[in-house]
Structures are given as C-alpha cells and as structure tokens.
Amino acid sequence: MTVPPGDPAANPPGGSTPADVAPPTELPVDAAVWPEHSAATTDDVPVLSRVGHDRGHLDRDLDDPARGRPVRVLTIDAQRQVPLRETATGPELLWDERVAFPTGGIYLGHADDVAYAVVRGERSLTVSGTPVDGWSGLREVGSDLGDRDAGLLAQAVGIVEWHERNRFSPYTGAATVVEKSGWTQRDPITGQEVFPRTDPAVIMLVHDGGDRCVLGRQAVWPPGRFSILAGFVEPGESAEAAVAREVAEEVGLEVTDVRYVSSQPWPFPQSLMLGFTARAVGTELRVDHDEIEEARWFTRDELRSGHGPAALPPPVSIARHLIDAWLAEDGQTP
C-alpha cells in the first residue's frame, strides 16, 4: 500500500488531485526496507501505534498552540524523510529548537512541557548546530525509534501527506485556507471545513484452524517476500465484511471466525490498518493474479526456520505483528 510522493506540478488548477479519488498504486518496494533478516516484534501493540506524547487537540484552536512553551520543529522533505542522529540506544529524530511556533508549521502536540511541530523543507547538514547523521523515512526507522519519536513521526508523515494531496476544496475547487494549526482547511467561498482524511483498510492473517496460514506476494515486492492479505474497506461495508470479501477475491477462500486483533496507522499516504485473524473454511487457493502474484500455505515451522519465505514483513508493519502473534500462540516465536 505505497504511493508516490505528491507531484505539485501535477495538481489541476482546481479540485482535488487524482490521488484523492483513486486507491493508492503499489510501487516497487526497496529490499532495504524489507530486509531478509529482521527480529520478531515484541511489543503488545504494533510499532507505529505507540504513543509517547499528547496530541493536544484542544491547543489547535489557539493562536499559539505552543502556549508560549519551547517548540521542537521537525523538518520533512519532499521524499518524506527526516533528519536523524545515531545514539548508543538507536536513532533519534533531530529537532530544531525554537522559542516560538514556526510560521507554516503544523502542530503535533506536546510532551514534558515542550511543544512539537513539523514543517516541510529542504535537507540540511545540521539541525540546531547538531550534525545530521542521515535522512531517512518512517518505513526504514519506525521500528527503531522510541515511543515518542515513532508516534510523532507517524503523525507528521500522515498530516503532511494530507496537506500535499488536498490543497483545493472538494466543494468548489478553490484553494483552501489552512486553519487550526494545520488541522483544518477551509473553503474560502462556502466556508466549509475540510478535515484530515483516513482510509480504513483491513489486513488479515488467514489460518486453517491448525498449524498453517496463507501468505501472498505482489510482483512489486523483492523476490521471496511474502505477507498476509490486505485490502481497502468499501463504502457501506463493515470491516469484518471487507475481510471476507478481500480474502475471497484474492485467494478464493471462504472464511469464518473473523476476529479483530489491533490497528496501526499507515500514512502511505493515509490509511488506518485494521488487523484481523480469520479461519479458512476450505484449503484450495484460487489466486486472482490481478491482485497478487502468488499465494501459498505455510506452516509455523516453515516461518520460524526460514524454509518458507525469504523474508517476513519488517517489524514496522502490522503484518509482522499479526504473524508473530499467531506464531506465539503455541508458545514459540520465530
């Protein structure tokens, strides 16, 4: 569920961009963000669902959402990458320390009496006098960041994506006016407010009620990588119905015992992944090759031993969280 960064030159003079009315297009996935060897997830919640700050939604209505507090500002570039520094305990986001809320900044919330904001900008070699060790994205470093930084970065990427893709009113096509510290856009003609959008998607581990689960792969993924099935919720459809429909469409299986497990923000560009397990009624796979390239049953032992897929999804994804939880049901992890 990846999409290309928005191209400002491709925006029409009025109305929304094509990305507003079409599902995301899958792009080739770099093997660097889906390595062959990665540790199992260990948290009780998916990585990007961690929160270590207060989003401060009431502060967004204020002229100064920082309330006079110091502000740490994160710069995000056109490739949705941010500055990092390496520490003895892992990477950390590099924040520009400011005494006032930045012009054009989007308020992210606060923690320990410090406000946080994100701005769009260019790469630099230093931030507040500290050398930048590298620029990277949420996919690459999300699983290595602490709770506060992981939550702030997921929020920052999601809200910036919304601004880049929704700069015109869906009512009149007029350029919108940004309000409420970046969390609302207003149609200047009708006065209608436009709020950040989140698209619900389901992602499900389908098992046979015993020791096997179904994994599939898309052609744009690096060779040998398999993951669980996923798809978008359609208008007027429940999440559970979407699970059953998507599994039937992708691999031809009827499922029952659909159970919700957990959710995860996936701001690539604007999805909320709703994680489920489901039990297959039969075992014969009928793969829709318009949806996926290949699908297979794998046993727990194959997934643990490395004799199955070349790589499971990286820890940053809820897919890996669901796989690891299923593998741990009989007391073991990969």
Backbone angles phi, psi at 173, to 5 degrees: 85, 0
Q: Give the end-to-end CA distance of the chain in Å, rounded to a whole number.
A: 25
Number of neighbours of residue 244 by Cβ within 10 angstroms:
20
Task: Read off the pLDDT of residues 134-179 as tens digits, 9 standing for 90 and up.
Answer: 999 999 999 999 999 999 999 999 999 999 999 999 999 999 999 9
Identify the pLDDT of residue 264. Answer: 97
- Nearest CA to 106 among 53, 170, 4, 184? 184
- Alpha-carbon gap, residue 165 to 8, rounded angstroms: 9
- List of domains in the chain: 8-15+44-194 (3.90.79.20), 199-330 (3.90.79.10)
Task: Read off the pLDDT of residues 199-223 as tens digits, 9 standing for 90 and up.
Answer: 999 999 999 999 999 999 999 999 9
Query: Are the CB atoms for 258 and 229 separated by under 8 Å?
Result: no
Query: Are the CB atoms for 213 and 227 separated by under 8 Å?
Result: no
The Cα-based distances of 83 to 92, 152, 236, 318 in angstroms read 9, 13, 41, 25
Residue with the bigger pLDDT between 12 and 54: it is 54
At residue 1, does pLDDT exceed 90?
no
Whole-structure pTM value: 0.88
Backbone angles phi, psi at 250, to 5 degrees: -85, -40
Lowest model confidence (mean pLDDT) among 99-103, 196-200, 212-216, 328-332: 328-332
Task: Identify each DSSP E strand in the chain by its residue range.
Answer: 71-76, 81-87, 90-93, 96-98, 106-111, 114-120, 126-127, 130-131, 134-137, 177-179, 184-186, 193-194, 199-207, 212-217, 229-232, 255-266, 271-280, 294-299
Identify the pLDDT of residue 332. Answer: 53
- Alpha-carbon gap, residue 172 to 174, rounded angstroms: 5
